Structure 1
Amino acid sequence: MAEIRERDDAADLSEREPAVVEPRHETEADDKDPEVYVVEPLLPQRLRRPSDLLRFIAALLALAAVVLLSLVAKQTLNGLAGDVAEGANLVPNLLSRVAAFLGGGAVLIVPVAFAVERVFHRDGLRVAEGLIAAIIGLVGSFLIGEWVMSSDAAGDLRQLLTGNRPGVEPFNTLLASVVAYSTAVRISRRPTWRALIWTVIALDVLSLFTSKQLTLPSAMVTIVAGMAIGYGTLYGVGSPNTRPPGTAVIAALRKLSFQPISARRIEDDHQGSRRYAVGLHDGSSLDVTVLDRDRQVAGLPYRLWRRIRLNSETRRRAIRSLRAELEREALMAYAAQAAGASTPRLLGTSEVGTEAALLAYEHLSTRPLDALPDSEIDDDLLAQIWEQLELLRLQRLAHRRLTGDSIHVDTEGRVVLTDARSGEIAAGDLLLRLDVVQLLTYLALRVGAERSVASAARVVGEDALAGAMPLLQKIALTRQTRSALAKDKGLLSAIREQIEALKPQAKIEEIRLERFRPRTLVTIIASTLAAYFLLSQLSQVNLVTVITTANWAWSLLALAASFVSFIAAALMLRGFVPESLPLWRTVLVQFASSFVKLVAPPAVGAVAINTRYLQKRGIPPASAVASVGASQLVMLIAHISLLLLFAYITGSNTATSFTPTRGLVLVMLAVAVLIVAVLGVPPLRRMLTKRLRSLFSNVLPRLLDVLQSPRKMFEGFAGTVMITIAFVTCLDACVSAFGGDISFTAVAVVFLTANAIGSAAPTPGGLGAVELALAGGLTVAGVDSAVATSAVLLYRLLTFWLPVLPGWAAFTWLQRHEAL
């Protein structure tokens, strides 16, 4: 196969408006071939290319990154600008003037010359697109520049872009329009013109910079903004359709010695590639797949996301060239044929001009498995499907897309595998096991977990199923299968149970396919915001002053109350577990949970580590989860009850006429709206119900077991109340340590409110949210803001940061003694 490559002249010609041309016959033999009418819808004259949209988004992200980095690294940027200016001053004056003259004039001459050259080649539409981008760049840069210069909110940005120099524009309108024009006319595809235009742009920027008419950040922002406008214009107005029509596909097939007599466009494949059904002179048929160059980046954001999120063995290349895509599918097709698998034979490949390539397969009369009713999927058909997979596995071939539209059944009931483009040759064990998992899950969706596992065990064996069991994760499946699993969320667990019944002694190794989970991104973003707010607080308080001015008598009381909270947590857990638990080891578990809070939200970390501890004590998983759920449920009830109690006591100590503040009314309205939103929106309501059901399932029987023992009941409820009292005492002592004057009940209301906010925050240990809520609550309650901030910092030091080191020691010791 001749190499498919982009040619500058050919690319220029291909981007003109498509014209209707007569087929060209190169040889005498070609003249004898009858003309074939291709049944297909009219191809659009223009189309929006995904590549232009991606470049536009990338330019916007680059623009935001340039602005943020410039704002953060002001000193470095100023130093760099000074070095450039100093170096420019060393240039002889005459040479500098010549460069300024050439750059300033050529920045207009070069675009005009390129426009003339394009018009001469009858490519005026491209010039028109460039002019639209230039006008948008000119007007947009002017309007944004006026806003930056006049708006008080853009003070930092104005100082960054102009350096507060008189007469300096935030955006150079001429430079922005030239860059937008050059981008829109795709001058980058012409190496000579590309080098010329960027040379004159660099000369123009240098001359403007040395004459103090432009700053370095302004130059960078102007250029990137111009590129964004150019790509946005290209995507907005669309590009000429360069996809070869069906007649070009027929001509390419004739070059492969086929004699087509009919052709019609059929449904595109799952990746959006065109497909044609072609009838040949000898009565046979072909299924032709056309790979269009402009479709190679379709779905790129999703592929990039999967590539970043998944481990290296499971991910695929996000971007492939047209040539690489053609070779990949052809190689996989030939390898599957050599392995003896039942697949359509690949009969030929060819380029179709410079913008597409085709693969010609023999036509088989089949139906996709998705089109078969479940009643027709019998045990014999299931066995055939697994046999085909086993043939691929024996030759280390991974299909990677075993779904209902890639598994077909012919007229004689034989299984045929299609869609080899996603496959891998010389695949590793992980990819081969992923194929087993995908097929297991898809067939289980059709015939149930029991039949799916039983049919697989008869063909691939129980060992292969046991090896695939750790990979039964939603992330390992195709997008279609993951969507189908949303309707049957217990299916993966059912498949695991069936495999465990076949191989109960199998050793299960944990395999992590994800580098990170989406919730990790949320945690990172929330933690960053929390750290920002926390640092803002710290910048207003001198930590040395906080430590040296605190009353150490109150500080020691706060430290003692913090320690008591761990004992109270241990008593609470012991009280809701009918089985006997050693007190001090349980206390160590609570210290270990304080270490886990560094990487997990507070409620999540405590629940997970307590559940793990109970399981290690020999308590069945269901009972362990129920015990922890019971303690959390009672803790929630106690939390709400104490909040109402302390709020009532606080209110009764105030004046008889209570008028709620505007802030309190807004908070109450916000809480009401949140509750209505959660309960009124079905998806949110189902999510909340699911979380609560998973946490508190089997809780009632566990509570009944606890109520049968008065000692356990007293221990659990006493520990629950002691935790709240200990934390409130700690916070009250921290406020008193800095001379704050506030009632104990008011501190309790502030703590209980802030604790609820911190439990809902996705940050580790409620970091940031707890500090803001506590400081804000104390300030509203009448404590001086500086005293409130100092008290909160001391409180978090004693209850969150100080226990980390002993918590790590306890976590390590418990793991060493197999208690966790």
Structure 2
Amino acid sequence: MADIRERDDTGDLTEGDPTVAQARPDHDVYVVEPLLPQRLRRPSDLLRFGATLAAMVAVLLIALVAKQTLNGLEKDVTEGATRLPELLSRVATFLGGAALLVVPVAFAVERVFHRDGLRVAEGLVAAILGMVISFLLGSWIVTAGPVDLRLLLTGNRDIEPLNTLLTSVIAYSTAVRISRRPTWRALMWTVIGLYALAFFTGYQITLVGGIVTVLLGMAIGYGTLYGVGSPDTRPPGNAVVAALRKLSFTPVSARRIDDDHQGSRRYAIGLKDGTSLDVTVLDRDRQVAGLPYRLWRRIRLNSETRRRAIRSLRAELEREALMAYAAQAAGASTPRLLGTSEIGTEAALLAYEHLDTRPLDEVPDSEIDDNVLAQIWEQIELLQIQRLAHRRLTGDGIHLDPAGRVVLTDARSGEIAAGDLLLRLDVAQLLTYLALRVGPERSVRAAAAVMGPDALAAALPLLQRIALTRETRAALAKDKALLGNLREQIVALKPQSKVEEIRLERFRPRTLVTIIASALAAYFLLSQLSRVNLVQVVTTANWAWSGIALVASFVSFVAAALMLRGFVPEHLPLWRTVLVQFASSFVKLVAPAAVGGIAINTRYLQKRGISPASAVASVGASQLVMLIFHIGLLLLFAYITGSSTATSFTPSRGLVVAMLAVAVLAVLLLGVPQLRRLVTARMRRLFSNVLPRLLDVLQSPSKMIEACSGTLMITLAFVACLDACVAAFGGSLSFTTVAVVYLTANAIGSAAPTPGGLGAVEASLTLGLTVAGLDAPLATSAVLLYRLLTFWLPVLPGWAAFTHLQRDEAL
């Protein structure tokens, strides 16, 4: 147990809590702080580990894609190495092989003499891991790994895919942090270069193998550093006190308090004159904390709204100091910055005057009266007059003193000379936070009284979740209607305001998922096309069956038009509605399968004079009924197929599995409260809009017949098209079997985020037909012909229909 002692008011020592803190003497000052760990896992090592692994994967992927270019480059490098004079080549081989062992040993001896043997031990652990991992990976690649990967790393020669010795040495060098010693670093990489040159000359390593070996060694070294931890080089509390003495302060007590929201250490310092300081310590190893999240925000958001992902320690110190001085000059109520200083090379401090305050998060909602709200907005107005953006107007950045006066803290996130967008973001953030505490009406009323309606109208487009702090976004999850209520309050306050649209995001996560899924789908399709000749697929298909498939594809568009007409009580012209369905086939090129048609049909109904709510309800009702028909037909055809066949394709057993899966899903939806609330909310919105529309349809027998017949015809037309495509290549499957395959694959394709279900539909159909008993090449040819007729061929007439309808203002 550490002995904790503090001085009381009389100067005598008192006992502290030995279970959580330790005393560090600095002259006559005892610094009370938690026991600092001897070793810690640095986030920077974990980030370097992840970045090195990502680089290694990227090298392998690029090498797999650009094989020809890589082969040419490797040939050039190898030929260049073999043209070296023989004497120079032999010297390089000797020096590289010998020095690769001598240099690490010499560095280890030097570290031991400097009593840094623990670092050498870490390097030895990394070297052993490097040797073992590279040997196991190499053995797996040679015996059971992918053929393409083996060819990349060995060049089809009898050599090691990964050089075991080189991996071990690089892992050792990384773990002992030889990169921090410029002389040793230059010597080590020179030796590695000579060793690689010798191996290229002797055809004992490939270009990709050498690069992957280096990256793997670095990854193992960084992984070892993070796993075993690094010595804690953070300056302790007594170093903080010593730095304050150099600033002419006279500390008499020091105590570590809670870290701030960014993980920076804070100390409460008592001075000889009876005043106190609040000291924030910026540690160098904390500069990369939260870096992945900051990088993600930096990539995702526009340049004006994002913060820098990482800064040097010096830049972070200067930024916070500059913001603190600027806020003081603006007249804002903030703690005065009294001094700054570096603490060695690993940390820096900022000393603020101590104010007895409590954060707004700890203030009950009942105490946040109109006077407090007005003071908060007055402080923000002072900052905005001087073009200062706070950037963190949350409950831990706004404080109240005992007299009820507002104090702003946490200047580190702020910006000087801020643009209009950042200033408006501050208004939007504060409006939202206060609305969570006191309600939208009071929040808007208090802001308007100080800032004016124009300032709120300017912030209206920025009331977006992405614009708010992480804590505020989390709180909004419990009140999803709050932003909408805020907008309504502002619009009611200034109804004539012109609101321009502001897009803060470069892209949405859903867009990124779609791009990745589309890339995978394209890779799948290309791999499929590489196995078959598309021209041969078209020319060898039976033209009679192909013609039937084409007619069935056209019938599906007419059926879709009938279905939509059936769910709309108002009159819709048939052929124009058919053109709309063709136009939706064009939109599917850039939208998921289930989204493009819904958007086009909804837009079409609105242009026909149907209210937006009724248009959405009509399309939603058609989709709901189609889902019911889809499930019913799947169960019907699966039952018929399973009861009438005895082949390996037995959907009856799959039907049982599907029913069990549905039962398990229902139990989960009903048993997990969060899922149950989500489903209930969605179903409530569905029934509130769709059921009245269905009741309107049921009152008209002709509309009901048209809707049901159109819905049924869509499915049967697509099944007939696929069945004809199978028959076009001589395949023999029952209609019910093809129907089960289509209905299953269509459900998967509708759920896929790729345009038109690209990739997912092809894979599901090919797999289903293969399981049903078709040969893989025949199944692939049938699926490609089916997708050509139903997805690719309608694109051109769909584009023409889309252009025509837009010209006539029907879309």
Both proteins in one fold, TM over 0.5? yes
Whether the 8 Å contact between 2:25 and 2:238 is mirrored in structure 1 is no
How far is 1:262 from its partner? Answer: 1.4
Q: Does 174-183 or 605-614 show the bigger shift? A: 605-614
1:14 matched residue in structure 2: none
CA distance in 2, matches of 1:813, 1:324: 58
How far is 1:529 from its partner? Answer: 2.6
Whether the 8 Å contact between 1:442 and 1:481 is mirrored in structure 2 is yes
1:45-102, Cα deviation, whole Å (9 max, x unpaired)? 1111110111111111122223333333333333222222221222111121112112
How far is 1:480 from its partner? Answer: 0.8
1:69 matched residue in structure 2: 62
Within a 5 Å distance, the mapping from 1:717-736 to structure 2 comes to 717-736=708-727
1:745-795, Cα deviation, whole Å (9 max, x unpaired)? 443333222222211222221112212222333344444543332222122
1:54 matched to 2:42 = no
How far is 1:44 from its partner? Answer: 1.1
CA distance in 2, matches of 1:20, 1:214: 57
Give the partner amino acid of 2:157.
R
2:11 matched residue in structure 1: none
1:237-276, Cα deviation, whole Å (9 max, x unpaired)? 1111111111111111122222222111110000000011
Three-state SS of the structure 1 residue aligned to 2:339 is strand
1:451 matched residue in structure 2: 442
Three-state SS of the structure 2 residue aligned to 1:360 is strand
Give the partner amino acid of 2:741.
V
1:129 matched to 2:117 = no
1:677-709, Cα deviation, whole Å (9 max, x unpaired)? 464162455545555544554211121122223
1:165 matched residue in structure 2: 157
1:523-562, Cα deviation, whole Å (9 max, x unpaired)? 2332233223222322222111122223334333333332
Give the partner amino acid of 1:466.
A
Distance 1:175 1:747, change over 3 A: closer
Distance 1:412 1:704, change over 3 A: same
How far is 1:21 from its partner? Answer: 9.8
Whether the 8 Å contact between 1:107 and 1:201 is mirrored in structure 2 is yes
TM-score by length of structure 2 reads: 0.92
Whether the 8 Å contact between 2:431 and 2:443 is mirrored in structure 1 is yes
Distance 1:677 1:648, change over 3 A: closer
2:187 matched residue in structure 1: 196
1:143 matched residue in structure 2: 136
CA distance in 2, matches of 1:626, 1:236: 56
1:669 matched residue in structure 2: 657
1:228 matched residue in structure 2: 219
CA distance in 2, matches of 1:689, 1:770: 30
Within a 5 Å distance, the mapping from 1:398-547 to structure 2 comes to 398-547=389-538
Whether the 8 Å contact between 1:630 and 1:696 is mirrored in structure 2 is no
Whether the 8 Å contact between 1:626 and 1:697 is mirrored in structure 2 is no
Distance 1:602 1:420, change over 3 A: same
5+ residue gaps, structure 2:
1-21
Within a 5 Å distance, the mapping from 1:269-308 to structure 2 comes to 269-308=260-299
CA distance in 2, matches of 1:209, 1:282: 72
1:7 matched residue in structure 2: none
5+ residue gaps, structure 1:
1-18, 24-33
1:9 matched residue in structure 2: none
Distance 1:591 1:234, change over 3 A: same
CA distance in 2, matches of 1:660, 1:384: 76
Whether the 8 Å contact between 1:342 and 1:417 is mirrored in structure 2 is yes
CA distance in 2, matches of 1:748, 1:101: 70
Query: RMSD of aligned C-alpha atoms?
Result: 2.5
1:345 matched to 2:336 = yes
Distance 1:209 1:48, change over 3 A: same
Q: Does 412-421 or 509-518 show the bigger shift? A: 509-518
How far is 1:721 from its partner? Answer: 2.1
Give the partner amino acid of 2:731.
G
1:680 matched to 2:673 = no
Within a 5 Å distance, the mapping from 1:598-613 to structure 2 comes to 598-613=589-604
CA distance in 1, matches of 2:654, 2:58: 36
1:619 matched to 2:610 = yes
How far is 1:739 from its partner? Answer: 3.5
How far is 1:202 from its partner? Answer: 0.3
CA distance in 1, matches of 2:105, 2:287: 33
CA distance in 1, matches of 2:213, 2:666: 45
How far is 1:147 from its partner? Answer: 3.2
CA distance in 1, matches of 2:204, 2:648: 57
Whether the 8 Å contact between 1:633 and 1:696 is mirrored in structure 2 is no
2:784 matched residue in structure 1: 793
1:362 matched residue in structure 2: 353
CA distance in 1, matches of 2:695, 2:211: 69
1:118 matched residue in structure 2: 111
How far is 1:505 from its partner? Answer: 3.6
1:10 matched residue in structure 2: none
Whether the 8 Å contact between 1:260 and 1:278 is mirrored in structure 2 is yes
CA distance in 2, matches of 1:197, 1:785: 54
Give the partner amino acid of 2:664.
V
Distance 1:618 1:277, change over 3 A: farther
CA distance in 2, matches of 1:177, 1:275: 41
Three-state SS of the structure 1 residue aligned to 2:29 is coil
CA distance in 2, matches of 1:788, 1:405: 62
Whether the 8 Å contact between 1:678 and 1:684 is mirrored in structure 2 is no
1:771 matched to 2:762 = yes
1:94-127, Cα deviation, whole Å (9 max, x unpaired)? 1211121121121122222222222222222222
Question: Identical aligned pairs, as a percentage?
Answer: 78
1:16 matched residue in structure 2: none
CA distance in 2, matches of 1:788, 1:576: 37
Whether the 8 Å contact between 1:758 and 1:765 is mirrored in structure 2 is yes
Three-state SS of the structure 2 residue aligned to 1:44 is coil
CA distance in 1, matches of 2:514, 2:315: 38
TM-score by length of structure 1 reads: 0.91
Within a 5 Å distance, the mapping from 1:214-225 to structure 2 comes to 214-225=205-216
Aligned residues: 787
Whether the 8 Å contact between 2:24 and 2:31 is mirrored in structure 1 is no
Three-state SS of the structure 2 residue aligned to 1:798 is helix
CA distance in 2, matches of 1:467, 1:809: 41
Whether the 8 Å contact between 2:545 and 2:728 is mirrored in structure 1 is yes
Distance 1:659 1:206, change over 3 A: closer
